Structure 1
Amino acid sequence: MDDSAVSKPLREDRLARSIADLANIVRTLEEKGVSLRATEQPIDTSSAAGRAFLQMLGVFAEFETAIRRERQLEGIAKAKEEGVYKGRPASINPAKVRELAAKGLGGTEIARSLGIGRASVYRLLKESA
């Protein structure tokens, strides 16, 4: 990167959502003849060591996200077992869907009259069949 380039502070862990995303960003920058240089970490994609360090940070960030997701799912499962977490209340009345279907209304008409998606109507009708 030359001295005329404008640099903005960016936290490295906010650069990409996954390793594949990170690789695409770096590749796009390289195609444009630009390198990425971090101010608070030894990252400079113009060198092999800088690229390696950036990739290692990406691996650890993705690992941390996976661990956080696992813990969240474990917490939700435990809360469900204890009866604390019940999910959001149902927004669709299955009996009303069946009632309208029994009157001969089609899925689109039922969805429109109840203000719900057609897929939800068809799923409920399939479940009750």
Structure 2
Amino acid sequence: MERQREGVAKAKGKYKGRAPTARAKADDVRRLAAEGKTREAIAAKLGIGVASVYRILAASAALSSEI
């Protein structure tokens, strides 16, 4: 924890955390799912976790049901 604080202080409070890689591929996930690919195949093709695929598709379904 202390080393992390030192690093954040060195960056002058500009710590932004890890970049969300799976969310950047959300459009590809939805496209491949629409093509009928399995969740596992989508995850393998895009290099993300299966849980991320499910999360993206669940969020998409929630958004489309609200409209």
**TM-score above 0.5, yes or no:** yes
Q: CA deviation at 1:90?
A: 2.1
What is the one-letter code of the residue matched to 1:85?
A: Y
What is the one-letter code of the residue matched to 2:29?
A: V
Q: CA deviation at 1:91?
A: 1.7
31, 55, 64: which one pairs with 1:123? Answer: 55
CA RMSD of aligned residues (A): 2.0
Structure 1: 5+ residue runs without aligned partners?
1-67
In our comparison, the structure showing a higher alpha carbon Rg is 1
Q: CA deviation at 1:122?
A: 0.4
Question: Which digits, 9 at most, give the CA deviation of each residue in 1:68-107, with x for residues without a partner?
Answer: 68xx6xx7xxx4xxxx222211222111111111111121
7, 10, 19: which one pairs with 1:89? Answer: 19
| Distance in 2 (alpha carbons) for counterparts of 1:85 and 1:96 | 29
Structure 2: 5+ residue runs without aligned partners?
62-67
Question: RCO (CA 8 Å, sep 6+): is it higher in 1 or 2?
Answer: 2
24, 42, 55: which one pairs with 1:110? Answer: 42
Residue pairs, 1:46-61, within 5 angstroms: none
| Distance in 1 (alpha carbons) for counterparts of 2:26 and 2:16 | 19
Q: CA deviation at 1:127?
A: 1.1
Q: TM-score, normalised by structure 1?
A: 0.34
Q: What is the aligned residue count?
A: 51
Structure 2 equivalent of residue 59 of structure 1: none
Q: Greater share of helix residues, 1 or 2? A: 2
